[in-house]
A and B are shown apart, each in its own frame.
Chain A
Amino acid sequence: AQTVTQSQPEMSVQEAETVTLSCTYDTSESDYYLFWYKQPPSRQMILVIRQEAYKQQNATENRFSVNFQKAAKSFSLKISDSQLGDAAMYFCAYRRNFGNEKLTFGTGTRLTIIP
Chain B
Amino acid sequence: NAGVMQNPRHLVRRRGQEARLRCSPMKGHSHVYWYRQLPEEGLKFMVYLQKENIIDESGMPKERFSAEFPKEGPSILRIQQVVRGDSAAYFCASSPGSAGGAPLHFGNGTRLTVT
Contact = CB atoms under 8 A, between A and B. Distances in A.
A18 to B, nearest CB: 24
Dominant SS among interface residues on chain B: strand
A44 B100 contact: no
A91 B42 contact: yes
Contacts, number: 61
A44 B109 CA distance: 7
B104 interface: yes
A98 B35 CA distance: 20
Interface of A: 31-33, 35, 37, 42-47, 50, 52, 91, 95-108
Interface of B: 33, 35, 41-45, 48, 55-56, 59, 89, 91, 93, 98-101, 103-106, 108-109, 111
10 A-B pairs with the lowest CB-CB distances in the bound complex, closest first: A97-B100, A45-B106, A107-B42, A99-B98, A105-B42, A105-B43, A33-B100, A102-B45, A100-B98, A95-B100
